[in-house]
Structure 1
Amino acid sequence: MYLANSRAADQATRRVGGTPRWHRVPPNVLALGVVSLVTDISAEMVTAVLPLYLVLGLGLNPLQFGLLDGLYAGSTALLRLVGGHAADRWRRLKTVAGIGYALSAVCKLGLLAAGSSVAAIGAVLAVDRAGKGIRTAPRDALISLSSSPETLGRSFGVHRALDTFGAFLGPLVAVAVLWASLGSYDAVFVFSFCIAGCGVLLLVLLVKDHRPPSAQPTGVRGRPASSPPPSGGEAGEAREPVPLRTMLGLLRISSFRRCCVWAAGLGLVTITDSFVYLALQRRWEIESTWFPLLALGTAGSFLLLAVPLGRLADRVGRWKVFLAGHAALVVALLLICGPATSPWIAVVALALHGCFYAATDGVLPATAGPLLPEHLRASGLALLQTGQALARMVSAVLVGLAWTLWDLRPALIATTAALLVVTLAAAAFKPWEVKR
């Protein structure tokens, strides 16, 4: 028995290149996952209570909420480009990501000063999302550059699983704080700030920076690949700045350009989380006390499926899994607007909503990362995420408008039909065939 177990262990070790299975995820990816876990507890504390506060507390109609939700989703867009370009230009991925994390942390206190002013709340949320926009591309570039190409799906899956565990805990912490503070939203904001500050500290202490080469033989201005390294440094230590036109020039890579177009097209017909939860609350008449817990259904499914679907994407093809996630969202929306009223339908819809994120959130950057040169990895991911964020901003406004004009069910049916058409088109005209 001992010899059999030893042989099995040796074979498992050889299959992963001499590394035990639990070491297959790089330490830097795990560190970034821990930072995201803590930060998402803070962020989801606010996100879990905000839709209910704005719609029921301040009395916003669906169109007003759609505009604010679109601002919340889209204010990251252009600053993703700034964050990605700055990280590549300065070759300081960790520093730029840290600036974004710190900015979002400070904004939690800004919600205290905003009070009940919708304009002030919108401004604070825009700055908070700006911090997220600044940090996202450098963080994903760090994950991509810290992992081997054949395990990118797994690495992003592990990171997103840790991130989602924080999203799972966030609403629970928010409910606990509301209960302990007798319903004080200010207490939620202060506690959220403290947790976000811990996330910034963990980033500084645990995460190691990765400085990719500053130039590659891709026609980008910089030291030629055949030139010797500068004196006193290693190859790849040249400090030639990356011009902005190089970031936009990444769209000349046909496979990456098609990836950006389809991601934006799908984002344009993807309903935002807040509308999903508001639709569930209205359809099943869920009490306001339990509204923050709706996000737990999504987060729980995301948490359970992120790593398995990331590994599956590495094996069968990341684009296939990415589109399958959108198909899961189509089914979830059909359940929400369908005739059945069983509470289990809501549970299944939330589980499918989490499946959608598990199959798309980390799989998309894992798909696009290998298409980009290392020294422009953050810039390229920023371009990809910017197009997707702008599309989802427009989507939020359109869904809010449709809800105002036609009511909830017709708005959901129209959105679902559009999402199904674009998903089928993306499957029929796939941009490439890459298994790894």
Structure 2
Amino acid sequence: MNNKNSKIQEKKVFGIPWNAFIFGFVSFLNDFSSELTIRALPLFLKNVLNTKTSIIGLIEGVADSTATILKIFSGYLSDKLNQRKWLVTLGYGLSAISKPLLYFANNWVFVLIIRFLDRVGKGIRTSPRDALIANTTKKEELGKAFGFNRAMDPAGAILALLVGSVVIYFSSKNAIKLTDHLFKILVLISIFPVFIALFLIVAFAVDVKNGSSSANKVNLSLKGFNKRFKLYLLTIAIFTLGNSSDAFLILQAQNRGLSILEIFLMLAAFNFITTISAYPAGLLSDRIKRQHLIVAGWIVYALIYFGFGLATKTYQIVILYILYGLYYGLTEGVEKALVADLVEPEKRGTAYGLYNGAVGIFAFPASLIAGFLWQYISPSAPFIFGAVLAIIASISLLKVLSLKSD
């Protein structure tokens, strides 16, 4: 690593590596915007546009898979060009432009197009951003860096949901269904934070290069990656096939009688649990085997999903959804730190693309399967399916990462 990169690794704010700190606040602002709109979107589709759950599953699946494909290519491109910041800026910029268009949504096809554009932005930015954080962080602090970044996401969501709850309380506090007017208010509030996030990237994020020869080592395939990384991706894919969109959890909550205000407050509590668990989990993963924390999170996920499938009372749904935040806190940042452990710095953009690809490619059939299971078998079926696959993936991960390195 060159001298400039070493200096960037030494630069910290309150003990947090510089880029991780900047992108933490970018995530905070971006998630504030997304939580007001994307979390309410399945309710808008169901309550206002009368969209079938199978179509909601289709929309979420297409959105996630769009992001996935681009994550693969953008990660590879950032390695090949040895530049990442402009891709990250472009990705956040496209999402910032597309979100306000939800104000004009009047049918599910229009919503699908907007979700597509937003996910194109996410696909472009995610892998280069993760590589930028990893490559400006010391190996022994990767868990801390990704844990902080992951914690700031739900912190923004908490603020957004509390703001949304205030709006709902004063406009229609007892409403069981979302209205078009209320959704438009939430969209308007969500617009400005994403542009502030864009400014932070342009003004403060630092790009790094890996050396003049790194581009020659990069190719868009699994060739050149070690066996443990390849099997890790397979395990992630198994888990993701049962990890359908959280839209179905929100619809299940509404099915059990929660009002719009109660759903927003429940989501705020869920994000609070994610926030307070993500950073400590990241720190802990720098000291113990990361796979143990991931498996713990997947077991929590399985138990929560079994619970969602069996729950019949409103209070059960609320408790389960709040505890669901622990799964996110234990896994998302740690999974990304583990990717950095398994691959060389010059291949991390591609590696994060492949990792995000494994998640996104299987997210489409996951949401599609969930939509059909819900509509044609029962609302409990998608959750039982997801829980079973989580247990299989947990056993697989422990086996895979017990193998010796190539």
Corresponding position of 1:233: none
Corresponding position of 1:104: 95
Corresponding position of 1:151: 141
Residues 429, 32 of structure 1: alpha-carbon distance in 2 compared, 3 angstrom cutoff: closer
Corresponding position of 1:221: 216
Structure 1 residue 95 corresponds to structure 2 residue 93 = no
Counterpart pick for 1:39 among 30, 45, 55:
30
Residues 429, 212 of structure 1: alpha-carbon distance in 2 compared, 3 angstrom cutoff: closer
* Seq. identity, %: 24
Corresponding position of 1:415: 386
TM alignment of 1:168-247, pairs within 5 A: 168-177=158-167, 183-216=181-214, 221=216, 246-247=219-220
Corresponding position of 2:273: 301
Amino acid in structure 2 at the alignment position of 1:405: Y
Quote the Cα distance in structure 2 between the aligned partners of 1:28 and 1:415.
34
Give 1:334 shift.
2.0
- For structure 2, the 5+ residue unaligned runs are 1-9, 173-180
Counterpart secondary structure, 1:68: helix
Give 1:425 shift.
3.2
Structure 1 residue 118 corresponds to structure 2 residue 108 = yes
TM alignment of 1:311-350, pairs within 5 A: 311-338=283-310, 341=313, 343=315, 345-350=316-321
Q: Report 1 or 2 for greater relative contact order, CA contacts < 8 Å, sequence distance ≥ 6.
A: 2
Structure 1 residue 263 corresponds to structure 2 residue 236 = yes
Corresponding position of 1:391: 362
**What TM-score do you get using the length of structure 2 for normalisation?**
0.88
8 Å CA contact retained: 2:238, 2:389: no
Residues 147, 155 of structure 1: alpha-carbon distance in 2 compared, 3 angstrom cutoff: same
8 Å CA contact retained: 2:241, 2:386: no
Give 1:301 shift.
0.8
Give CA deviations for 1:316-341 in whole Å, capped at 9, x if unaligned.
21111111111101111122223563
Corresponding position of 1:427: 398
8 Å CA contact retained: 1:44, 1:171: yes
Give 1:62 shift.
1.7
Quote the Cα distance in structure 1 between the aligned partners of 2:195 and 2:168.
20
Give 1:28 shift.
2.2
Quote the Cα distance in structure 1 between the aligned partners of 2:117 and 2:294.
30
8 Å CA contact retained: 1:165, 1:299: yes
Quote the Cα distance in structure 2 between the aligned partners of 1:63 and 1:22.
46
Range moving further from structure 2, 320-329 or 349-358:
349-358
Quote the Cα distance in structure 2 between the aligned partners of 1:107 and 1:28.
25
Range moving further from structure 2, 295-304 or 406-415:
406-415
Corresponding position of 2:4: none
Give 1:370 shift.
2.5
Residues 383, 148 of structure 1: alpha-carbon distance in 2 compared, 3 angstrom cutoff: same
Structure 1 residue 281 corresponds to structure 2 residue 254 = yes
Range moving further from structure 2, 104-113 or 121-130:
104-113
Counterpart secondary structure, 1:315: coil
- For structure 1, the 5+ residue unaligned runs are 1-18, 223-241
8 Å CA contact retained: 1:76, 1:389: yes
Corresponding position of 2:122: 132
Give 1:433 shift.
6.7
Counterpart secondary structure, 1:208: coil
Give CA deviations for 1:354-385 in whole Å, capped at 9, x if unaligned.
11111111111100113222222111101110
**What TM-score do you get using the length of structure 1 for normalisation?**
0.83
Quote the Cα distance in structure 2 between the aligned partners of 1:266 and 1:126.
24
Quote the Cα distance in structure 2 between the aligned partners of 1:104 and 1:214.
32
Amino acid in structure 2 at the alignment position of 1:154: K
- How many residues are matched? 388
Counterpart secondary structure, 2:216: coil
The root-mean-square deviation of aligned C-alpha atoms, in Å, is 2.4
8 Å CA contact retained: 1:277, 1:294: no
Corresponding position of 1:403: 374
Amino acid in structure 1 at the alignment position of 2:251: L
Residues 155, 194 of structure 1: alpha-carbon distance in 2 compared, 3 angstrom cutoff: same
Give 1:406 shift.
0.8
Corresponding position of 1:67: 58
Amino acid in structure 1 at the alignment position of 2:103: L
